[in-house]
Amino acid sequence: MMRVRPYVDGDRAELERLATLLMPDDPQPIPENETFFVLDRGDGRLGGYVDVGTRSFAEGCDSSPVACVEAWYVDEDLRGQGWGGKLISAVEDWARATGYRELASDARITNERSIAAHKALGFTEYERIVCFAKKL
């Protein structure tokens, strides 16, 4: 039976697999100081996850610090079934219980599916930016 639950140490290999699917060109280590919720398929595999951290500032938010979705992924075969919303709901419950008043998130400007999912879950879009960097 599938369910959303908090991450446990035994999930690490599956969480790394999902994180690689989310960012195949930019693999990142799994942060130790953030909170994760996972979509447990019930057979030892995970079908998605959400990573929530804390930021001192987030666009569109008035409070500080603010809870912030740092990564959010659902396997393709489970998309469109409400699991992404259940992951975000777990984050919202955790954030409220931890004392946060706002939840921030972001998406790549070209990721229309993620933008639509955020809006469907009640997030408000505040701005779009293009980031620059220059090596010195």
pLDDT digit string, tens, across residues 74-132 = 999 999 999 999 999 999 999 999 999 999 999 999 999 999 999 999 999 999 988 89
Residues spanned by the domain of 87: 3-53+69-101
How many Å apart are CA 76 and CA 96, to the nearest integer? 29
In this predicted model, what pLDDT tens digit does every residue of 12-63 receive, in sequence order? 999 999 999 998 887 777 888 889 999 999 999 999 999 999 999 999 999 9
Can the peptide bond before residue 29 be classed as cis, meaning omega within 30 degrees of 0? no
In a domain, residue 87? The reply is yes
Q: How many CB atoms lie within 10 A of CB 134?
A: 4
How many Å apart are CA 77 and CA 56, to the nearest integer? 35
Contact, 15 vs 7, CB < 8 A? yes
DSSP assignment letter at 29:
P
In a domain, residue 121? The reply is no
In a domain, residue 90? The reply is yes
Domain count, the chain: 1
CATH number, domain of 28, equals 3.40.630.30
Which pLDDT belongs to residue 130? 86
